[in-house]
């Protein structure tokens, strides 16, 4: 009985999925590739100044927190 159950489970669950033929993975032309590259270039061009500004603000905040304020009392 165990052999029959094992055989049926292998038949039912070990068959390949007939979903999509994956022999062709990239079917787009050079224009699509250039468009995606241009979009990536735009994102990087906006990301670099944002990271530099964030670094500058963090550096300035660390410098400000290191200073001690002296208040003069009369």
What does the domain layout of the chain look like in residue ranges?
29-63
pLDDT in tens, 33-71: 999 999 999 999 999 999 999 999 999 998 888 776 655
Residue-wise DSSP of 20-61: ---S------HHHHHHHHHHHHHHHHHHHHHHHHHHHHHHHH
pLDDT of residue 37: 95
- Chain segment 16-36, per-residue pLDDT in tens: 656 666 666 667 788 999 999
- pLDDT beyond 70 at 73: no
DSSP category for residue 66: H
């Amino acid at each position: 009985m165990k052999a029959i159950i094992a055989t049926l489970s292998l038949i039912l669950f070990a068959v390949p999925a007939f979903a999509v033929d994956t022999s062709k993975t990239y079917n787009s032309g050079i224009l699509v590739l250039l468009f995606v590259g241009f979009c990536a270039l735009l994102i990087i061009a906006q990301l670099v100044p944002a990271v530099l500004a964030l670094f500058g603000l963090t550096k300035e905040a660390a410098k400000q927190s290191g200073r001690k304020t002296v208040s003069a009392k009369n």
